[in-house]
Amino acid sequence: MTTLDYLFFDLKGTPGYFGKLLFLAVIAVTGSSVLLSGLGYIKSDGFLNRTYHYEDRNISMRDGSKYKDSFVWIRENTTPGTIVILPFPNKNTGRVNGLNGSVYIVTQRLPYVAYGHIYTKGIKEYYTRRKNVLLFYSEGTPIKKKIQILDKFKKYSNERLAFY
């Protein structure tokens, strides 16, 4: 801050003119960064969306929300270490009041694959898991292959539960 003070108030003549310009540029860049972040949030789906709310330290859905009964059932009938495996077309509930609602967000259970989620899409096994889910829910996959895939689901679950 001392440097900016010096640039704006203490430099005289031509260097003072450029000092004032530099000072204003720094203020404009930092101010616009904050402003753009705020505007980005206001324009985001999460700003006005009221689908989700906190209820006893849990994320829940408002009454009347699509698939709320499924979310409640999963929370009430599974442990926090449960891994949720859903077919891709049904993983996201679709646009609900402008927001994609996901079972793993609402039920606070671990997804086996979560497309677009920063912590899971970037992991090494993402594409293998995605392939497993697609094969498991495919009608053309033989039963023996589905049993092998179930073993992979179980192995993943056991590995994750070791961290709990």
What are the pLDDT digits (tens) for 97-136? 444 555 666 678 877 776 655 556 677 778 888 889 889 9
Strands 58-61 and 52-55: antiparallel
More confident residue, 123 or 29: 29
Do the beta carbons of residue 92 and residue 101 sit within 8 Å? yes
Specify the range with the lowest mean pLDDT, choosing from 3-7, 12-16, 70-74, 142-146. 3-7
73: its two tokens: 């059932």
SS3 111: strand
Can you give the residue ranges of every domain in the chain?
2-43, 48-161
- The answer for residues whose C-beta is within 8 angstroms of residue 4's C-beta and 6 or more apart is 23, 26
β-partners of residue 91 are none
Q: What does pTM read for this prediction?
A: 0.52
- Return the SS3 of 67: coil
Q: pLDDT averaged over the chain?
A: 76
Which residues, at least 6 apart from 148, have a Cβ–Cβ distance to it below 8 Å? none
For 130, the enclosing helix (H) or strand (E) is: helix 126-137
C-beta of residue 117 within 8 angstroms of C-beta of residue 85:
no
